Structures are given as structure tokens and as C-alpha cells.
Structure 1
């Protein structure tokens, strides 16, 4: 039917946005758009590019999927269901899985009767998770449940597993910068008011030379990198105590506000003595208060800037991992794919030492980057699970004849020799019931051997399990191929290799 503006008050009443503040509601209203649908109107179709995260404001959406040439109803999202709170919340938004992954919609959404939705594009949805962590707390559990339900029910199991990994990785990675932004903004609210009062007092009493002394102190503080103080926590704590005592002895009522800012940059009481010598004793408390509030605000601004940089890096890694804006088949730098995969799986690799061994620049290989990233995800995820969160993961890439050899090795307990020949069989798994589908390695085998004309093998003993993937390099030029044929050289194959498993 049509689009319209969103109002903060209608978002305030929505369960997904419960508990936000006025500024967050205003941002949500300004950043999204309302869309009305008539009875039977399709909001999005299965297979279409996933463009929007959808919040159901009023009405009902029927979610269906074509299975074996017939429509199968997967869910009904309604604002009128009187279900249990978590289930009711889950039925008020949709599209988050596909939007996060940059994939196509996995199903079709059709309006039942008149409906009204709020639409947020992908970039805005990612910003929403940062600006409103409360929304992340609501979305991620529902997202995880949906991914699990869809995996159990079948249909694109491997893709959905990757989506679940991606969503968990993004949620985990966004948590720290989002918390930093919220903390910094909370401090800024108080710090700006305090700075105004301190600046007024200092400005009324300070001499020109004293103003210059404080300006020099701020420049010196800014020139020193964060973390340049004592290298251990105990040393930092002792330095903070010394600085706090000095500050409070010289008239700063709350020395604990300034002491940590100085300690993290390696500034000590000698630095404060030099500053104190340039300011008249009676005006030193006002100078210290002004310096404290000024540096506090600068520190908050740096926190926000660093958090923004981190979010940008997360978006960049997500884009690389999902290969947005790329054709399905292209020339692939396997090292880029491995790095993106390691970034997405960083939460699962906590406590594991990752060792990289990448050969000098190697040629790109023709292939399907998203599918290869799925292979790397399965291999790295299995290795991390085998090690139980502790051990060494070794990832290497090197040339081998006309092939590119990728090896993922771990120091886990190894795979039993009796089951080793079956690891690539469909639905075969050594994991507990519910912990694995037995499809990851089977699908990886199909992707490597069928889609990329390569090979994947495994060898294992306690403390050393290695999966080796060989992919054909770029095809040789006609001249080089003819020369090799004249020399009697056999064509290179990444399939028929001596058994090294």
C-alpha cells in the first residue's frame, strides 16, 4: 500500500524496544520507515535479496517456504497473539538472520488482512544493535532459537549453521564497543556540566601563564599513548594511589577521577609537581579540577571513536565473510577467507592459541568464496570444539605443484582410528545428541570435491589432527600448457594424490 513516517510513541509501545530512552526512540523513528500492506500483499519473497529487518507494528504476517514444489507454512507473526512473552516477542519481528548474513530471504512473508511494519535496512540494523544494546539482548536469543529450529527442520542446514555462527560472532563482537559507547555517553552527560562549571571558575581566576601551563599539560597527555604506564596491574594500581593522594593533598576533592587518566599514560607525581610549580597555590585546586574534567571528556570521546572504529572493522569482516557485492563465482584469495572466518569465530577461539603460516603471495583460485568460507568455518569450528577451548590451532596455506594446500590442524585428543574413515559420511557425528547434525564435514567434502574439483583429507593422532584441503590453482596459459605437454609433464591434479591421511 504505502510508506509513512514512524513515531517515537508507537515504537515505545513495542515489546522489542521496551526500556529504551527518549533519544534512542527518536533515532529509531528517524532511521526507519513505516510500510502498510493490504490483505494478501507480499512483503518479501523467498530468494529475493534480504534488504530489511522487519518489525511488525500491527497485523499478521504469514511466513511460508516452497518445499518440494508446495508452500509450507513456517510461522505466523502476529501482534494479536496472547502467547507467552518470549514467543510473543519472537512473532513481532523477522528478517534478522538473512539481513545479518547479507543473504537472500529464506521464505516469503505475506500480509493476512491489513498490516503495518517498520523497515530498517542492513546498515541501520547493525547500528541499532550498537546504539540500543537492549535490542541486541532481545533479538539474539530469538535469532538463536530460530536458527536451531530451521536446522532441525532441514533446508539449507549448512547455510543456517554459518548464519548462526555469524550472528553469535557479531553479537559477541559488538558487545564491547557498544558497552564502551554507552559508558562514555553516560560519563559525558555529567562531565560536560562539570567542565562548564570548572572552566568558569578557572577562567575567572587564572593568569595567562597558568592557562598556558594547563594547555601544555593537556598536549603532553594527548601525546602519550594509552597503555604506556606500568605494564602490570599492580604497578598501575600503586601509581593510581600515589597520584590520588597527591591530587587530594593539593585540593582536588575527588582525586580518583583524574588519577587513572594520568596513570594509564605513565604520568607520575613528578609530572604533577612540574605542573604545580607553574600555577599559584591558591589557584591550583581550580586548575586541577578543570584539567580533570577536560581530560575526562577527551577520554570519553576517544572511547567513542575507538568503539566506532571497532564496529567498522566488524562490519568489514562480516562483509568479507559473507562476500557481499561479489559474484557467486570469482577468483578467491584463500588467506582472506581464512582471516575473515577466524574473525567471525573469535568468541569460540577464546583461550586457544592461533598460529598462522601463510606462504608468500600465492595466486587466487577460481571458486565460490561463500562456500569456501563455509568449509573453513566447519574445519575451524570442529577444531575448536575438539580442543575444548584450550590448545593450539594451526592454519597454513602454501603452494603444492599447481594446487593451493590449506591445512587446519589442532592439538586436541584426535579422532579414533575406527571412525576416521567415516568422518565425511552424511549424518555421521561423534558429538552428543543435539550438538551436531553430522552434515558439516560431508558438505565441506562436497564443496571441495564437487564444486571446486579439489580434495579434502584428514589424518589424526592424539595431539595432532590435520585436515588438508587442496584446490586447483588458476588454469595455465595455453603456451605454458603446450610447453608442459612437449616436456612430457603430466597434468596437475588436486584429486589423485598419494594418500597422506
Structure 2
């Protein structure tokens, strides 16, 4: 049998079967790994969600019990300071004391209020009607006499709270407060709240989780579990905060929260259990779905591998025969597909042809592509160059015409004084209404910005032309400040009435570089800075020169970059902007341009304060490639 399989998979006897087998193998193994790993991750994620749910509930219960204890303490102090109650305790008027206390406890959170005299002897205990009339609610019995430990503690402290475990009941919070009249110890008021099965059931109704109350030896006192689960309840030997336990064919994650006394020592525990049944059921369903998907994919792989073996190998056979016929001078002969040794024959024929055709064919194809691409780019550059040239030239003429008009306006203004007063007033009002003074001041910068914009466009067109005629691309010695000022003029609409520019220019020598590319870097960084400043803000531009390099620092008061994003800021296609607002290429291109100039670009950023981009360009004239 194995010999048959080996023969089937032997490429010399059946290339199609071999390809089909390995195709299925390489398709299914990654799929099975992905399925298994996905199921594992799902189980981990579901457990993490359950743990989050447990932690959230623990936090809520902690707040709730802390609030209850605080109210218990405050109520104890308030009642112990009640002058009327103190007189009743001192005189030990039991009937009146019970009547007054009954009216207090009905509107209070405690489950019982007890009074003891100065010697610790019980005077009376009062229950609210909700407990007294419900025989199912059981409270721990009050001692007839307080212990010496409690009395001694109350002689040193005004109040103590004790948390005590009670089998089949739960935990009691007992607040003992000493009552003093005129500085003299006259008795003790004890207020009790019980965390029992009813508290656990109400918590379960709110959260859907099981609640257990344990003593400090982790023994079960009461719970919301079924009687069968209570009988087999256990805690693992390693008492961790969150553990997994198994009760009667059901798995739980259990979180234990300690009840701490005033000395921060645990007196018992509140256990919160969340069932993993839904998680396991969902995981089982997912595994079944993944298994069905694997079966379907296996069938699809078998089907397509059969098609692929016929679709791919048959053309290869025909190509092989065609190559052999081409060597003999035949055109498109009908061929018979040989059953064996396909790859060996194909490689032999390919090598025979490749030695004579590969180099020539590659050169011809490459030359044809570059010629077509060069013609296309040169045509586009030519079509753009003419209208841009007209526009640039016309703006120069417009600038000259405007100078003449300004001279004419100046002459008119000199002649205004010779006109009658009403006409002078009317001309001045019209001048103020049209804001002529501002227009005359602003028109020069507008014309200059237009010239800069058309010059920038001409530079782009020149770059396209250089692309089609690479031997004409060259570097220039330029003034970096001129490039910065040109960029700032193009971005002036972004700064106006919103961003204040602070220029701290040093004395810089001219730099040998590709000026349009350096200006593109300035444009990208300054544009990002303006976008990072959401309201009014500032941008500082600082330049200085060392013997070997020029440094340009651009700082903004924007929202800054998160630390985890700083390391990726120059990665291609990385952007923190919304979809459609950025490509993630600006800073990546800028980084490449600076690297091409053998320079360095760095960024420092603090969230909420802004960013500083520092560009360092060497003055040593290296060959730029």
C-alpha cells in the first residue's frame, strides 16, 4: 500500500498527483494551525472578559460594603451622642428605650440595635419589623454580657467594628460605640448588619453571578449555589485571588474578596463565581464550525487542485513542445502531452532557448518601456509648461501694470487737495469704503505669492522634464531662508489670524542641494504643524550653522504626538489623521529626501505641548544620488 502511495507521489511517474498532494498539504496545515490558535485565543479572550466582569463586580461590592460600614460607623456615633438615648441607657428604662429605638431602626439600614450597660450586660435588642416578621431570616444571637476584650477596647477607642463569621448565616458587621455622659462611661450601643444569603441572592439578581460567603479557613458559610453544589464546594489549595473550580459538571471562575477587620486582617471572604458554561458551549460550537469549514475547504482544495493540475501542467506541456518546435522553425504545431518527466524536459528546453534569447528580449522590453514612459512624461510636461509659462509671464506684466496704477493713484491723491471740499470728502469716503490703503499694501504680497506658486508649478514641470531627460537634473547653491519664506507665503492662508510665527534666523551659508525637494520637506513639516494646532497657536522656526552643517528647527504648540507613534512617524503610509485626510506619505518622502542629501531629520514631541522637527544638512559637498 505504502509503495503505491510512494509511486503515486513520485514526480518521475505522476507530477500531477504530487502537485495535488503538496498543494492540499500546504493549504490545510496553515489552516489547521490558524483554527487551533484562533480557538485558543478566543478561549483566552473570553476568560479575560469574565475576569474583567469579576473585577468590576468586586469593585462595586467593595464600594457598597465600604459605604455600609461607613454608614454603620456614623450612625453609631450619632446614636451614641443622642442625649435622650444616653439617659434611657443610664436609667435602664427598657420599655421606653425599645419604643424609641424601634422608631429609629425602621428607617435605618441596620438589622439590629442592642444596648449594654456600663458593665457590659445586655439591656435590650431591637429588630426591625422586616426581620422580626420573617422567620426565615436568622441573625446571630447577642451575647448577654460583652467580653472584657471589647470593653477594654472601648475604653481606649470610641468605636470598634468587628466582622464575625457565623455558620449557616454569613458574616455580621458589628459596630460597638461607647456612650459617655459628662465624660463618664455609661454603656455601649451595638449596631449590626448581616451579610447573609438574602444579601447574596439580591446581588445575584442584580448581576447574574453566584455569591458564596466563606470563613477565614475558606469554609462555606452560605451561598446562592444549589444544595448539591454546596455539598461539593471546595477551594483550591493555592489560595489565589482568581481561581478556576469545577462543581457538578460545571466550571466556574471564582474571585475571593477578604473581609478585613480594623487591623487589616482577613476574618472571612466573599466569593464571586461566574460560570464558564456559556463560554465552553460557544467554544464548542466554534470548533464545530471550524471543523465544517476545514472539511469544506478540503473539498474545495481537492477540486481546485484537480483543475489546477490540468490547467497549469497542460499549458506547460504545450509550451515545452512549442519551444522545441520553435527551435526547429515550426509555427504553432499540434502537440501531444507527454505523461512523464515534464519538469526535466521543460527546464532543458528553457535553458536551450534562454541562452540565446533572454538577454536580447530583456533589453528590448526595457528599452521599449522606458521610451514610452519618457515620451509620456515629456508630453505631459510640455502640455503643462506652456500655460504655466504664460501665467508666470503675465503675472510679471501684471506687477508692472499695478506699479503704474499705484503711481497714477498717488498722482490723483496729490491732486485731490485742489478739488472742492465736498468732492474731497466723497473721494475719501469711497477710498475708505473700498479699503484702498490695505489693497495697495497687500497687492504686492499677493502678486509675489502668485509668482511663487507659478514658479513652484514650473519647478514641478521641470522635475517631470528632468524625469524624461535625467542627464539635465542638477543641484544648486541656494539660500535656505528663501526656501522657508517661499513656503511660508504659500501657507499664509493657514496662518492668518490664527497662528503666530516666530522667526529666529541665523547667518547661513548657501547650501548645495536640490532646492525644490528641500522646499517640499519644509512644506510637509509646516503643513503638519498648522494641522496639529487646532486653535490659536505658535510656530517657531530657528536656523543656525556650524562649520560642517546647517540646522533648521521647526517647533509648534500643537497637540503633540503620542510616544508610541513617534517611532513610526516616518514609516510609509503611517498616519494618525482620519480616513481621507492624509496618505501617510508626506513625512516618509521628507525622510527620504533628507537621507538623499546625507542629512538627518529628528522629532521630539510631548502630548498636549507640541512637537519639534530638527533637520540637519551637511555643508560638505558629497555626491548626492
Q: TM-score, normalised by structure 1?
A: 0.39
Q: Could you say which structure has the larger radius of gyration?
A: 2
TM-score normalised to structure 2 length: 0.32
